[in-house]
Amino acid sequence: MWSKYDFIPGDKVIFEDDLRGEENGEFPSRWDLQYGNVEIAQFGGENVIMFMSGASCIIPYLKNPEQDYLPDIFTIEFDVYYDIEPHSGKYYVFLYDKKNQTGSGQSLKNINLFPGGIKFDASTNLVEGGDGLWYNRTKPFWRHIAIGFNIRSLKVYYDDVRMLNIPHLGFNPTGLSISIINTNPVNFYMKNIRIAEGGQKLYDKFLQDGKIIATGIRFDVGKATLKPESMGIINKVVKMMQQHPELSFSIEGHTDSDGDDASNLKLSEDRAKTVMNTMVKLGISANRLTAKGLGESMPMDTNNTPEGKANNRRVEFVKK
């Protein structure tokens, strides 16, 4: 499972939309529309954002959207769906709010997400890759998109493969817009959108704080099943422990306040054990790790917003 993935998500969530509680057929409540037609749909048993028209563009619905809301170091993650039609269109990611902000270099240099690769602005060549050439697929598929920005450099991942590594972006990202162009009758879906501040080197954070707070370790809702994108942080912690054999960690699971105390306590413990067992399988001795759950007892943010809940759902690696 994504054993070479090295993407580190930001540790402070500033925008989160898992689409829970949305009504089928309605416009997604946490987004604004620049043009086109978009609505919530049920697909594969879960809510997704469905792009309805041949050209649509949405932006996060935030207070003061005209202001720069992206930090100097940030990450953006989401999942997109591709049909298997040879020309099934593409997604565009603009690093500014096209409705409320004025783009300069941002308006031309956007990320083009094709089914089988990525282009950065129209002048560059397609970078092909991922877990196999898309045109060999026989079924539609989801891809996890991960974007990391650090002061001036930009990295973009398709699933567990780093596809772009731009050392000097050439402009300051200030917001987010996601659009599609679709010239064929195929489906465009998106889900699990998150913007987070941070994404620094884990060892530096550990030396600074004495622990690693990982909001980017994610599980299926109400379960202890790891999502594949969680492996970026887990792989980094494993590598850090291999390089520093003196380190031992207590792996501590935390939940938000949804559900009752007892269920959350057990869920957090099960999740901590899942992380521990995964690290043992990757070569870390079990006697260097312990796992415990703290449920909802130690929130580090409010439980009244999606972002606060996302920050509270976390795994901490605490030095023993």
| 217 closest CA partner among 1, 22, 51 | 1
The region that residue 192 occupies, defined by phi over 0 for left and psi between -120 and 50 for alpha, beta otherwise, is left
Residue 299, CA distances (Å) to 15, 236, 303, 311 in order: 18, 25, 8, 8
3-state secondary structure of 270: helix
Decide which of 127 and 151 is more confident: 151
pLDDT at 283 over 60: yes
Q: What are φ and ψ of residue 315, in 5° steps?
A: -120, 130
Distance, in Å, from the CA atom of 293 to the CA atom of 241, rounded to the nearest integer, reads 22
Please compute the mean of the pLDDT values over residues 238-252 and round it to a whole number: 96
Q: Please state, in angstroms and rounded to a whole number, the distance separating the CA atoms of residues 125 and 102.
A: 27
Indicate whether 124 pLDDT > 70.
Answer: no
pLDDT at residue 225 is higher than 90 = yes
The confidence score (pLDDT) of residue 47 equals 98
The predicted pLDDT at position 87 comes to 58
pLDDT for position 104: 60
107 falls in which pLDDT band (50, 70, 90)? Answer: low
Predicted confidence at residue 198, as pLDDT, reads 92
* Cα-based distances in Å from 237 to 211, 212, 228, 242: 11, 9, 15, 9
Beta strands in the chain (DSSP E): 12-17, 31-35, 38-43, 46-51, 55-60, 73-82, 90-94, 111-114, 117-120, 127-128, 141-150, 153-158, 161-166, 177-181, 189-197, 211-214, 249-254, 289-293, 314-319
Whether 40 and 25 have beta carbons less than 8 Å apart is answered as yes
Sign of the torsion angle spanned by Cα atoms 236, 239, 243, 249: positive
Q: Is 253 exposed, middle or buried (0-12, 13-18, 19+ CB in 10 A)?
A: buried
The yes-or-no verdict on residue 105 having pLDDT over 70 is no
* Strand pairing class (189-197; 12-17): antiparallel
The stretches of the chain forming alpha helices (DSSP H) are 202-209, 231-243, 261-281, 306-312
Domains of the chain and CATH, by start: 12-197 (2.60.120.560), 202-319 (3.30.1330.60)
Q: Which pLDDT belongs to residue 69?
A: 96
As a whole number, mean pLDDT of residues 198-216 equals: 89
The pLDDT-based confidence of 123 (bands split at 50, 70, 90) is low
What are 138-182's pLDDT values in tens digits?
Answer: 678 899 999 999 999 999 999 999 999 999 998 899 999 999 987
User: Please, what's the largest Cα pairwise distance for the chain?
Assistant: 57
Q: Would the pLDDT of 93 be above 90? A: yes
Tell whether the model's pLDDT for residue 121 goes beyond 90. Answer: no
- The pLDDT of residue 255 is 98
Of 253, 286, 290, 282, nearest in space to 270 by CA: 253
pTM: 0.93
Residue 199 pLDDT grade (very low, low, confident, very high; cuts 50, 70, 90) = confident
